[in-house]
Structure 1
Amino acid sequence: MESSQNFPAYYTVLCARTADAIDAIDQQRYQEARALLIAGMQEAEEIILFQEE
């Protein structure tokens, strides 16, 4: 099934970092997973703030 929706950049970043974090958790790399989630939040916030300017 193909989707023609264009998702916001912040959503794409959050999904990518979350998927990477899940992979890290599956491999019991918890600190890396935590860092990936924090980075995703920060990147998404930067995108949102930049769009508001």
Structure 2
Amino acid sequence: LGELVIGKKMGRSSDTEITFFKSVGVAVQDVAAGSLALANAGKMNLGQRTDW
């Protein structure tokens, strides 16, 4: 995952490929991964905000 985030590895090349990330470890890793995912989704204009 780290290599993907820093651009060393390519992500999916088509919609038929599946990306799976299983985080096992410290909770701060989950928060960091979620923060990056949220930031990148915003830059790509993806996702939908919902009220809690």
TM-score (norm 2): 0.42
| Higher relative contact order structure (alpha carbons within 8 Å, sequence separation ≥ 6) | 1
Specify which structure has the higher proportion of helix: 1
TM-score (norm 1): 0.42
